[in-house]
Chain A
């Protein structure tokens, strides 16, 4: 049984049919990536998993447990946290407070402290800036904070939505190496990326979404070699 199973979900924005039957699975320890053009439904899929959007049909299971009816904060408590698109850190809270908010659903103080150590080990820059308010951080630091904050929930599955967006190429490299590091420490990751090239390099498997449907799926290697992916995503998006 996969850790996270998304089965045939249909999600609507009002009357717009955004997800038209998406099914994906994420196994324990994997990095799985969702790639696709703008509006293909990648972020919508993540938001549906997190409970911000409710699917009209379909099922979402974590370890076999149905999540559909739960509210976002309850889903976090079950073990899914997200570093959302655009980072959305709390700019008026300090870095430390942001991280505390990440661990909001937990009450095991000693373990939280341990995770804080771990996060600071991964992102030493955040430790230096722990007392600064979030709004004063640079874009790269904010992205790190967003990921660190999501990690503080000690998720079983970490959802990352466009972690490289708006970052300088050198920072993109850094972020991706951090993602790999987090994964190697044992966190399962579902990654949404427009930078398909990078995403397929660190992921084990991938799904290509097109207009709310899964167009292609397979191992990262298969997708990298797929001519269509090469033409549409690896060829053009690199320059975009």
Chain B
């Protein structure tokens, strides 16, 4: 979409105008960057926060960022293949969180969580990653496939509608009350590390989340790079018609893409529940928006970009209010401001390649 508007700009305005605009943007961007550096230097000079605080905030950011990144992968994969923003993806995440809740809560009540927590958690992840793909694939089949040849805004609107539908469906099926994940005893502890004379606590749960995220990311990378279906996904993303002419069942590949993206979002949903405890039918909205932001930040359509974008966004959200010494309430302003700045300097995202006009 960005490409279209830039081309439109070029065709309408003389070249000189455009470059003046760009210079202006660069000046604004550099100004903001200078301001940020100045604030950080100020905070550092005051020495209010010790190294333990910085490590803590970084860790907070990585955990949060891991979840953003896993959800962002779904956005970016679907965009890569269909050039469409699946705005219902946040709801897929929510369904993962909900499914995880019902399983883990069931194990909690049956006592399995206490007697065999590893098995209980494993099964929770299996279900939490198993249910969302069913919904994701149905969504693709029912809501998006019939619109594949429609103008690009149509499936986008449809996605927003699907998002409301899923949210309200879960609300009607499972009620409006907040669901609280049971505490997992084996994961509720923490390691204490002494940093600069102060105790730093590292949650077992945060380690688990980061490790699972890394495993899933590596698995996805190998899948996309090394397997036949992964290569087919890349081929379809590049040229659907040529892929079909090679004997690739494009519909099937798109379905698999939705399924994989949904499974990753489901995993993030379960982690979200384990980490933040409370889930509700609206829980997918904000992470959905943030993950979408991450995907754009990293370069939408680009898988390593989504991973990086998510981690980066989580990191900035956690550390920026401390580093800039401003109210935590402003963290969303910071993260979206960051998005704007990144897009000024790199319109196609951090790792995004310049899209060819053909696709936009």
Contacts and interface: CB of A to CB of B under 8 A. Distances in A.
A binds B: yes
Interface of A: 50-52, 71-73, 76-77, 81-82, 84, 88-93, 97, 100-102, 104-106, 149-150, 153
A104 B246 contact: yes
B248 A73 contact: yes
B231 interface: yes
A201 B83 CA distance: 44
B247 interface: yes
A101 B235 contact: yes
Contacts of A150: 246
Contacts of B249: 71, 73
Given A73-B250, A90-B239, A92-B238, A101 B231 contact: yes
B247 A93 contact: no
A194 to B, nearest CB: 20
28 contacts: A50-B245, A52-B241, A52-B244, A71-B244, A72-B245, A73-B244, A73-B249, A76-B246, A77-B247, A81-B247, A84-B242, A88-B241, A88-B242, A90-B235, A90-B243, A91-B238, A92-B238, A93-B231, A93-B235, A97-B234, A100-B228, A100-B231, A101-B232, A101-B246, A102-B246, A104-B247, A105-B247, A153-B247
Nearest to B229: A104
Contacts of A72: 241, 244-245, 247
B52 to A, nearest CB: 44
Contacts of B243: 90, 101
A113 B48 CA distance: 65
A90 B242 contact: yes
Interface of B: 228, 231-232, 234-235, 238-239, 241-250
Contact of A52 (B228, B232, B238, B245): B245
B244 A90 contact: no
A150 B245 CA distance: 9
Contacts of A77: 247
Contacts of A92: 234, 238
Given A52-B244, A73-B249, A81-B246, A88 B228 contact: no
Q: Which of B232, B239, B245 has the most CB of A within 10 A?
A: B245
B245 A90 contact: no
Contacts of B232: 101, 104
B246 A153 contact: yes
- For the complex of A and B, the 4 pairs showing the least CB-CB separation, nearest first, are A105-B247, A76-B247, A72-B244, A88-B242
Contacts of B247: 72-73, 76-77, 81, 102, 104-106, 153
A135 to B, nearest CB: 10
Nearest to A77: B247
Given A72-B241, A72-B247, A73-B248, 14 more contacts: A51-B244, A52-B245, A71-B244, A77-B247, A84-B242, A90-B242, A97-B235, A100-B231, A101-B246, A105-B246, A105-B247, A105-B248, A149-B246, A150-B246
B315 to A, nearest CB: 29
Residue of B232, B242, B244, B246 most packed against chain A (CB within 10 A): B246
Nearest to B243: A101
A105 B234 CA distance: 16
B168 to A, nearest CB: 35
Given A88-B239, A93-B234, A93-B235, A101 B244 contact: no
A23 B246 CA distance: 25
A90 B234 contact: yes
B248 A104 contact: yes
B353 to A, nearest CB: 9
Contact of A90 (B228, B238, B250): B238
Contacts of A89: 242
Nearest to A75: B247
A76 B243 CA distance: 11
A50 B249 CA distance: 13
A72 B235 CA distance: 15
Contacts of A149: 246
A72 B247 CA distance: 7
Nearest to B248: A104
A75 to B, nearest CB: 8
B169 to A, nearest CB: 32
B136 to A, nearest CB: 22
B62 to A, nearest CB: 29
Contacts of A82: 245
Contacts of B245: 50, 52, 72, 76, 81-82, 84, 88
Most buried by B among A52, A97, A102: A97
